[in-house]
Amino acid sequence: MTMKKVAIPILAILIVISLFVATDKDNRPATSNSYNYTNSTKKDSTYSQTSEITTPSSNNNSTSNSFSSNNNKNATIGETNALASAKIYLNSMAFSYSGLIEQLEFEGYTNSDATYAANNCGADWYEQAALSAKTYLNVMPFSRDGLIEQLQYEGFTYEQAAYGAEQNGY
């Protein structure tokens, strides 16, 4: 079995595990009053973006959830929801830019909404490559070139893939 054929089952297993972990005992998505997402970039600059998803408290008769974001106030509901989904995905596993767009499209978002989310989620794609490389190396051994090739297959650029390999000892 080639490395490329291994990637898809590994990705599927990781998604299933992350979804399983994110559910409570009644098989409903786990909820709390808010989720905070913070992404940082490599080197000296730090990018921090916080979004909050609030659920109604038991003292509040409202039945709607609200999503507040520091992003563009003119975003459509599709863009806003795709962005929220992107942040949840990135909080549970690493994605390349194109891989995140593909995943969001698989979930039913339009290409436009998925692209908006990938452009505005605050992800550092180099750090995502490093995280993805670490995940692969925890599952099986790779040569440097094999790891870079696998990361490129997942949608990372050569530069991002090489950075990911370097950050994991190559």
| Count: domains in the chain | 2
pLDDT tens-digit map of 95-107: 999 999 999 999 9
**Rounded Cα–Cα distance for residues 127 and 19 (Å):** 22
Q: Which domain holds residue 110?
A: 75-123
128, part of any domain: yes
97, part of any domain: yes
pLDDT value for 38: 39
141, part of any domain: yes
Answer for the pair 133, 151: CB distance below 8 angstroms, yes or no.
Answer: yes
pLDDT value for 55: 32
Residue 33's pLDDT band, with cuts at 50, 70 and 90, is very low
Judgement on whether residues 136 and 107 belong to the same structural domain of the protein: no
pLDDT value for 35: 36
Answer for the pair 83, 70: CB distance below 8 angstroms, yes or no.
Answer: no
pLDDT at residue 63 is higher than 90? no
CATH of the domain at 114: 1.10.10
Judgement on whether residues 135 and 112 belong to the same structural domain of the protein: no
Judgement on whether residues 111 and 147 belong to the same structural domain of the protein: no
pLDDT value for 145: 98
69, part of any domain: no
101, part of any domain: yes
